[in-house]
Amino acid sequence: MLVTMAEVLERAYEGNYGVTAPNIQNENMARSVINVAEELNAPMIVDINAWVHPDIPWLVGFVRDLAYRASVPVAINLDHGKTYEQVMLGIRSGFTSVMVDRSDMAYEDNVRETKEVVKMCTPLGISVEAELGHVGQGDNYDVDGISDLTVPAEARRFIDETGVDCLAVAVGTAHGRYKGTPHIDFDRLSAIRKAVGLVPLVLHGGSGTGDENLRKAVHSGIQKVNLATELVTAGKESMENYLENNPKWDKWRLMPAFDEGYSDRLAHYVRLFGQDGEAW
């Protein structure tokens, strides 16, 4: 069943659980994600970046078809729409949600551009995610992990001014691999949750953040957790294991080995966040 991300996240808020948003790049990953969701009877958000595939409209059309036929609710979200063109491509491609990421701009510019996207998407029934504060890169963690964190009062104001459906916040996570140990500012996260009321919150940079941190983040008010690096790494390791154990490897078993590692890691997080059994 194809649904909007707003619906998935509203229910997650009410049900007090988190939802994984794995980034996919191709058919295999899309199938893995939806298979995991069906096996665990979980609602799911498929995240796709505009630049990861040469034919985004085709890929989104394919995922929409899988979602229609799935026994569980599936939302498809354009991850990090950095430009007007990417957001328009997202709308045309059939995403049920788009992220407009202007988190590297000044507050007023972020508001203005996010508002513009909300105005375009609302009549089309497409939900919108924006980012306030800036989630940086793990390989620059000593700087990015403590700078541009989300200010709770600004988060409230931003939501009121833009009308976004959910908000990605910077509370100490980072994209990619962490150089150093991740420290989540849980006091800040709780203060943001209190300030924004019922609006769902998103955590980018889930990979490598650690089970305890992520579980606590979900209990402190996060409804969506983005995951990319760690799932792909698990797929790669599973493929390497297969090759190591099978010197005369079968060419048709190589990709399935990747898919298995990717899926197992995703299933781990689905259970960790309590999203299993929550499909409707």
By beta-carbon proximity to Zn ion, the closer residue of 77 and 263 is: 77
Strands (E), the chain: 19-22, 44-49, 74-81, 97-100, 127-132, 166-169, 201-203, 222-227
Provide, rounded to whole angstroms, the least separation between the CB of residue 151 and Zn ion: 19
Provide, rounded to whole angstroms, the least separation between the CB of residue 148 and Zn ion: 13
Four-CA torsion 25, 29, 34, 38, nearest 10 degrees = -160
Provide, rounded to whole angstroms, the least separation between the CB of residue 131 and Zn ion: 8
By beta-carbon proximity to Zn ion, the closer residue of 224 and 278 is: 224
Provide, rounded to whole angstroms, the least separation between the CB of residue 88 and Zn ion: 20
By beta-carbon proximity to Zn ion, the closer residue of 82 and 157 is: 82
Q: How many CB atoms lie under 10 A from the CB of residue 254?
A: 13
Helix ranges (H only) for 127-184 are: 141-144, 152-162
Cα–Cα distance for residue pair 225/216, rounded to 1 Å? 12
236: tokens are 């790669």
By beta carbon distance, the residue nearest Zn ion is 204
For residue 132, give the nearest of 154, 165, 163 by alpha carbon: 154
79 is catalytic: yes
Q: Which of 55, 65, 79, 160 is catalytic?
A: 79
By beta-carbon proximity to Zn ion, the closer residue of 49 and 93 is: 49
Beta-strand pair 44-49/222-227? unpaired
Interface residue list for Zn ion (CB under 5 A): 204
Residues 6 or more apart in contact with residue 216 via CB below 8 angstroms: 184, 186
Amino acid at 242: Y
By beta-carbon proximity to Zn ion, the closer residue of 205 and 238 is: 205
Provide, rounded to whole angstroms, the least separation between the CB of residue 168 and Zn ion: 7
Write the DSSP symbol of residue 23. B
Q: How many CB atoms lie under 10 A from the CB of residue 251?
A: 6
Residues with a catalytic annotation lie at 79
